[in-house]
């Protein structure tokens, strides 16, 4: 029997859990450690910022309601210096939390009450996508041409950097992966299901808004007018199209 990538590594991926509910924190830690993940914890948002930046964990699980500063502010403060995956824990009925979290650079979210198996599946999916993770087994591949250049836009897979008009643009892991997927399929219409399968290996459920939110954020980062995008166009009823000359 073949072992999974997470069980064949010398050192388990490092996870930082930022959660002030001590009972929930203990349960999550116990479950994830049993599944070969290395856990550390923070209980305050303000101290979590320093810990994330200084220790650079492979992945952060971030609750929104925290003492000190909330999860939104933590995400906002660390994103310029931390490119690893951030998985947010949100309240079940707060759809706006999910939208704001993704806009601030979170990579995914899990609603409370937390289902351990779902949480583990989301963590594994994010770790597979992360270039810095011990368990990274990319479904995305480098192109024969690196960097890829589209007018004033340059994207390098090997250094995972993006330059627009010679200025460096900071991208989170999920944002870069989505951009690279588009760039390597320039001129092709990608459906939401195509994108979901390529990035996480799961089918798009039809209700998940995270892809649309991330594309909206890509447009903002790349100065692509959201009211009349020329670089990443919406193809009604089909998906999205990355236009090669959109940054000419």
Report the pLDDT averaged over residues 131-157. Answer: 69
Which of 80-84, 136-140, 208-212 is predicted most confidently?
80-84
pLDDT score, position 135 = 36
Predicted local distance difference test score (pLDDT) of residue 242: 96
Query: For residue 153, is the peptide bond before it cis, meaning its omega torsion is within 30 degrees of 0?
Result: no
User: With contact defined as beta carbons under 8 Å apart, do 179 and 216 qualify?
Assistant: no
* CB proximity list for 154: less than 8 A, separation 6 or greater: 147, 148, 162, 163, 164
- Angle, helices 192-200 vs 210-221, to 10°: value is 90
Q: Which residue has the higher pLDDT, 195 or 232?
A: 232
DSSP classification of residue 232? E
Asked whether 57 and 86 are in contact (CB, 8 A), the reply is: no
Convert the pLDDT of each residue in 7-40 to its tens digit. 344 588 999 999 999 999 999 999 999 999 999 9
Preceding omega of 147 cis (within 30 degrees of 0): yes
Asked whether residue 139 carries a pLDDT value surpassing 80, the answer given is: no
- pLDDT, tens digit (0-9, with 9 covering 90-100), for 44-77: 999 999 999 999 999 999 999 999 999 999 999 9
242: which DSSP letter?
E
Looking at residue 115, its pLDDT comes to: 87
Rounded distance between C-alpha atoms, residue 25 and residue 21, angstroms: 6
Contact call for residues 184 and 148 (beta carbons, < 8 A)? yes
pLDDT tens-digit map of 100-126? 777 777 888 888 888 898 899 889 888
**Bigger pLDDT: 230 vs 2:** 230
Name the more confident of 22 and 2: 22
Give the position of tokens 């990355």. Answer: 242
Check residues 228 and 1 and name the one with the higher pLDDT: 228
CATH architecture of 148-242: Orthogonal Bundle (1.10)
| pLDDT of the residue at 149 | 94
pLDDT tens column, 159-208: 889 999 999 998 877 788 899 999 999 999 999 888 888 877 666 665 56
In the chain, CATH 3.40.50.2300 covers 5-129
Q: What are the residue ranges of CATH 1.10.10.10 in the chain?
A: 148-242
**How would you list the strands of the sheet with 239-242, edge to edge?**
189-190, 239-242, 232-235
Greatest mean pLDDT range, 82-96, 102-116, 212-226? 212-226
Checking if the pLDDT of 222 tops 80, the result is: yes
CATH architecture of 5-129: 3-Layer(aba) Sandwich (3.40)
Q: Where are the alpha helices (DSSP H) in 64-137?
A: 71-78, 95-103, 116-129
152 has pLDDT over 90? yes
**Burial tier of 208 (Cβ tally within 10 Å: 0-12, 13-18, 19+):** middle
């Amino acid at each position: 029997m073949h072992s999974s990538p997470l069980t064949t590594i010398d050192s388990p991926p490092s996870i930082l859990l930022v959660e002030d509910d001590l009972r929930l924190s203990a349960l999550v830690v116990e479950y994830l450690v049993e599944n070969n993940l290395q856990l550390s914890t923070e209980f305050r948002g303000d101290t979590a910022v320093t810990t994330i930046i200084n220790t650079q964990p492979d992945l952060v699980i971030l609750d929104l309601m925290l003492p000190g500063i909330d999860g939104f502010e933590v995400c906002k403060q660390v994103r310029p210096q931390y490119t690893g995956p951030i998985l947010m824990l949100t309240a079940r009925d707060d759809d706006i939390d999910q939208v704001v979290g993704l806009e601030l650079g979170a990579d995914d979210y899990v609603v409370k009450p937390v289902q351990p198996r779902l949480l583990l599946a989301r963590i594994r999916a994010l770790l597979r996508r992360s270039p810095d993770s011990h368990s990274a087994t990319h479904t995305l591949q480098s192109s024969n041409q690196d960097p890829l250049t589209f007018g004033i836009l340059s994207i390098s897979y090997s250094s995972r950097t993006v330059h627009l008009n010679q200025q460096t643009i900071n991208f989170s892991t999920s944002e870069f992966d989505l951009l690279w997927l588009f760039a390597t399929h320039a001129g092709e219409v990608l459906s939401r299901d195509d994108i979901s399968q390529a990035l996480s290996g799961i089918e798009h459920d039809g209700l998940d808004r995270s892809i649309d939110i991330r594309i909206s954020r890509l447009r903002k980062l790349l100065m692509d007018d959201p009211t009349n995008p020329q670089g990443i166009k919406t193809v009604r009823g089909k998906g999205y199209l990355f236009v090669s000359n959109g940054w000419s």
